[in-house]
Chain A
Amino acid sequence: MTKSRGAKSQGPALVEADGVGIGYGHPVCPPITFAMGSGDVVAVVGANGAGKSTLLRTAVGLLPPLGGRLAVLGAEPDGRSARFRAAVAVDLGGDAFFPALTVREHLMLTCYGHGVQNPARVVADLVEAFGLGEIGHTLPTALSSGQRRRVLLAAAFVRPRSLMILDEPEQRLDAGMRRLLAERLVEEREGGGAVLLATHDPEVVRAAATRAVVLTASSAQVVPPEQAAAAIDRL
């Protein structure tokens, strides 16, 4: 098994994985080694069941690593701490909405809760960017799955973050919204943010990723984005 690291990222590492084993009691793939910092977009790719979501859940502290060392923001991942929640925007694909709040109220609440300045303008920009204007006063439970996905993505972008952890954010999005997502990830990267995402979309990988981790049953390799996109095309 060969491992390679990509170009060095800027600043201290936000995520450091050193021979990390992941799984639910039994490893689902070989140990993973990579590091990422500000300005990095690392795409985790692989077939269904390869361990992409498992890696992300381990990175947010929902699962314990089965071995090795994993540090997020310089410490063991603890998704329950205020420091982690303030710095890391997490979207693992589940539908999670405050009952009785409309789409706009969700975004406003998130802004206020994270101390965002000028929340009205920030929310208005994102509502327009993600095409939520017509459904702004609707409760998310009444929306289609694609619309709910857009709301959740908007909520990840409406708040301050050092790191984003996204699990297949392109799911249930139409082609136009996928392009927007890729553009947003590029902006995030160029603005000094960092994104760790699991994805099946080769265009997102080509457009936004700085490198990728390709997971299979027998290997966990860090490769350039073009190689990862080709691997997705072959799946």
Chain B
Amino acid sequence: MSEPVPAAGITADPELIPSGAGIRRWVRRASVRHATARPMELFGDVYTAVFGFAMGTAMIVALSRSAGQSAGHGRRGAGTSTSAVSAAKVLEPGWVAVLLVAAALFAAAGLAARLGPISVSAPAAKWLLALPVDRRSLLRPAAMRWPALATVLGAPCGVAVFLALGGGTSGRQILPATVLGAALAGSVILVVTAVQPHARARRAARATGDTLLAAVPALGLVLGLTGAAPLTPTGALGPAAVVAAVAFAGLALLADRRGAHVPDAALRAGGSVSDEARGAAMSLDGRALARALGEQSEPTERRRSSALGWLGAAPVQLRPQLALVTADALLLLRTPRHLGQLVAAACLPVLALTLPGPPRWLVVVVVLGSALLAGSAAAEGSRRAQFNPALDAALPLGDEQVRRARLVVPVIAVAAWTIPVFGAVAWRYPGGGSWLLLGVAAAPAWGAAAVRGAYRALPNYAAPLVATPMGALPTGAIGVALKGPDVAVALAVPALAAQAGRGLSPLLIVVQALLGVVALNVVARPPRRPTDPAAPVAGPPGGGAVATLRHRGRLGGTEGS
């Protein structure tokens, strides 16, 4: 390869090219000179982070220890209960801890694969990647960021699982669990880091993380229904921790070496996704967060296109509505992560019901959260339309007709979701088939809640920001975020109350069905047009007339309902 020809008057000495670490130091020193944050502010941020981590760790450890002790008592008292339900198979608390930590780990792996894990900001991509500096030392902090975070968070998770499985609390017993948890978590993320240079392997890592995450509730279900014996800590924990630590060290070296080979485009793409996701998270905008993290994971080509022949067979008057329903249904069926989300949403409440003696409030919370998760999986079409109103304007339907059509797929999906969930409720509590009827009656309310949440307006960024411990939030962000859950709670009170132990009756089912109809009608109504009765009357046109602000339509995009 020939040497680059220097521009006239400019010569360069390769000996003067700094290392990647050197250029990073230079940028950092220059940035600090212009920084406006005071040292005490930085101290405050660090203190908040450390204190929050310590408090969280203490709470998790205490809960795990309590779970481990109660599991021990439960085993000692096994066989004395005469209740049919308590004699049935249940999921041990130790397994719950293992499954929760596994789910967190798989979610972290999938997230890391989406964000990079090695990524650079837009300014770094533009100015630093083009420099002829050593790429490995330039990207080392970016390469180690995610593994370091996973290692730090994995340590208390390892302790939590150990205690939940009934392990002792002495230092000699806890240390191997700490090392094993940290090394395992860090190793998983290091594997994702090491495969990042290869696009296909990176996609496989993301898909594997997502698939394993979706499988966790199903696995928990299997463990609970089969009454699998709980794990107990053994003497092999020490050697396992050593092996994990060695593997961690080896993977760290491999990831450090491989990091230099990640293509520039992948680094930039990861950085852009990270920026978008961070902005969405700080604004409590779940839709933008899902868009940022989901955009790149869908396949972009199909072997063939559907002829949509069933639309041709439908009555002409219904074709516009059915076309919209078709678009939403195809979106759900062609997006594996949404189908996985539906399955997970069905497994979670069933899993909660297999816990030994679950408190009723926990069942209500899990069922409600899972209903929102299931509805959300089927309401992606509405979310995309809120982001881009031209989608709703593409067919000859008015806004209310569009909303009614958008309700179909989420309501049907949630109705299907209620079958296994309320079937499990019927298994757990007296009431039999009435629970299934109640679930189906509540499906319209929860499906409507998903569409309401999808169409909610963005927070008002033009208004003053509100300072919170999490950072500045736009005014009304919480209120906006509650649109959707508000209907899910308020118009499903009978279903929730019945699960909370208030009893089940035919009247309750009828009331729930009526509330479901109310929910559908409330959500189908498009926003009112804004009016300004105080606007001045317009003068004659063309001659210095006073501008009239008589609103006859929306300003810009869609307003939330």
A80→B557 CA distance, assembly (Å): 12
Q: Is A110 interfacial (CB 8 A cutoff)?
A: yes
Contacts of B554 in A (CB 8 A): 61-62
Cβ contact within 8 Å between B304 and A137: yes
Assess the A19–B542 pair: CB atoms within 8 A. yes
Contact of B399 with A by CB under 8 A: yes
User: A74-94 interface mask toward B, CB cutoff 8 Å, 1 = contact, 0 = none?
Assistant: 001111111001100010101
A113 touches B380 (CB 8 A): no
Known: A94-B388, A98-B391, A138-B300. A115 touches B316 (CB 8 A): yes
Q: Which of B304, B324, B381 contacts A113 (CB 8 A)?
A: B324
Closest A residue to B301 using CB positions: A138
1/0 contact string of B538-561 vs chain A (CB within 8 Å): 110110010111111111100000
| Complex contact B541–A82 (CB within 8 A) | no
B300 near A67 with CB under 8 A, answer no
**Is B319 in the interface zone, CB < 8 Å from A?**
yes
Q: Does A101 contact B (CB under 8 A)?
A: yes
- From B302, B326, B551, give the contact of A109 (CB < 8 A): B326
Q: What band does the interface of chain A fall in when counting residues whose beta carbon is under 8 Å from B?
A: 35 or more
Within 8 A of B (CB), among A76-128: 76-82, 85-86, 90, 92, 94-105, 108-110, 112-115, 119-120
Taking a contact as CB atoms under 8 Å apart, the answer to whether B331 and A96 are in contact is no
Q: How far is the CA of A95 from the CA of B389 in the complex (A)?
A: 11
Quick one: closest B residue to A18, CB to CB? B541
Interface size class of B (residues with CB under 8 A): 35 or more
Contacts of B526 in A (CB 8 A): 80
Whether B396 and A108, one on each chain, are in contact in the complex, defined by CB atoms closer than 8 angstroms, is no
| A13 proximal to B (CB < 8 A) | no
Does the CB pair B547–A21 fall under 8 Å?
yes
A143: nearest residue on chain B (CB-CB)?
B300
> Are B308 and A112 in contact, CB atoms less than 8 angstroms apart?
yes
Closest residue of chain A to B547, judged by CB? A66
Does B511 touch A at the CB level, under 8 Å? Answer: no
Is B14 part of the binding interface, using a Cβ–Cβ cutoff of 8 Å?
no
A142: chain B residues within 8 A (beta carbon): 300-301
CA distance A67 to B390 in the complex (A): 26
A110 to chain B, nearest CB (A): 6
Contact: B548 with A109, CB < 8 Å?
no
A64 interface neighbour in B308, B322, B391, B552, Cβ under 8 Å: B552
CB distance from A90 to the nearest CB of B (A): 7
Residues of chain B contacted by A82 (CB below 8 angstroms): 396-398, 401
CA distance A49 to B384 in the complex (A): 29
Nearest A residue to B391 via CB reads A96
- Measured between beta carbons, the chain B residues less than 8 angstroms from A77 are 552-553
Closest chain-B Cβ to A57's Cβ sits at a distance in Å of 9
With an 8 A cutoff between CB atoms, is B2 at the interface?
Answer: no
Q: What would be 16 A-B contacts, judged by CB atoms less than 8 Å apart?
A: A61-B552, A62-B556, A64-B549, A66-B548, A67-B548, A77-B553, A96-B394, A98-B384, A100-B330, A103-B305, A108-B306, A113-B319, A113-B323, A114-B396, A115-B319, A139-B301
Interface contacts beyond A68-B541, A78-B553, A79-B553: sample of 20 additional A-B pairs, CB < 8 Å, sorted by A: A21-B545, A30-B542, A31-B542, A64-B550, A76-B552, A80-B393, A80-B526, A80-B553, A82-B401, A90-B393, A94-B388, A95-B388, A96-B394, A98-B381, A99-B380, A105-B305, A114-B395, A114-B396, A137-B302, A137-B303
| Nearest 8 Cβ contacts at the A-B interface | A19-B541, A86-B396, A142-B300, A96-B390, A113-B323, A112-B311, A113-B395, A104-B305
